A and B are shown apart, each in its own frame.
Chain A
C-alpha cells in the first residue's frame, strides 16, 4: 500500500534560519506529491505540488523537488519568518489506487523572532 513518512517534530527555528522537512514515500503507482500547511485553528491549505519526477513545486519561498530515485519530496525554505509557524503535511495521490490521498503525520514548525 501507499504510505508517507515525514520528519518528526517539533522543529523550532529562529527567524531567517533555513528549514528542511524530510518526506519519503512508498507507492504502487506513479503518484503526485503535495505539501500542505495548517495554521493554528484552521483547515489544511495546499502549499505546493509536483506531479512527475524531477518536477519542482514552489510557493511562498518554499520549494520541494520530486525525486523518484530516492522516493523523496523534501520541503525547504531558505529564510523562515515567524508567520511560517504551522504544521506541515506531506501527502501523495496515487492513480493506481483511485487517486486516494495518503498523508504523513505532520511536522510542527515554530519560528521564533
Chain B
C-alpha cells in the first residue's frame, strides 16, 4: 500500500533562518507531488507542484523553493524565513494517468517563525 511521510511535525524557527521540510512517498511510482500551505483559519494555498524528477511548477511567488531529487522525494526549502512563512504545510501525492487521481496527504508540519 502507498504511504506518505512528512517531517517534522512541528518546527519553531527564528526569522532569517533556513528551512528544509521533507516528504517521501512509498508504494507508488511517478506520483504527482504537491506542497500546500494553510494559514490559520484559511484554505489551502498551492505552493509547488511536480509531475516528475526535477520538474517543479511554482504557483505563488515567494521566498520558498522546492526540489524533487528523487521520484518519490519532495523537499520544501527556504534560505531565510520570514514571519509570514508561519503556517501549516502539507505535502500530498496523487496518481498520474490512472483512475485513482485523488490526493493523499501527509500529516502536516506546523511551522512557527519567531
Partners in one complex: yes
Q: How many residues of B contact A (CB 8 A)?
A: 25
- Which segment, of A15-23, A44-52, A58-66, A76-84, faces chain B? A44-52
- Chain B positions within 8 Å of A32 at CB level: 101-102
CB of B105 within 8 A of CB of A106, answer: no
The residue in chain A whose Cβ has the minimal distance to the Cβ of B97 is: A99
Give chain B interface residues in 28-47, CB to chain A under 8 Å: 32, 34, 36, 41-44, 46
Chain B interfacial positions (CB closer than 8 Å to A): 32, 34, 36, 41-44, 46, 49, 51, 90, 92, 94-97, 99, 101-108
CB of A43 within 8 A of CB of B90, answer: yes
Tell me which of A36, A99, A104 contacts B96 (CB under 8 A): A99
Q: Which of A45, A103, A104, A105 has the most CB of B within 10 A?
A: A103
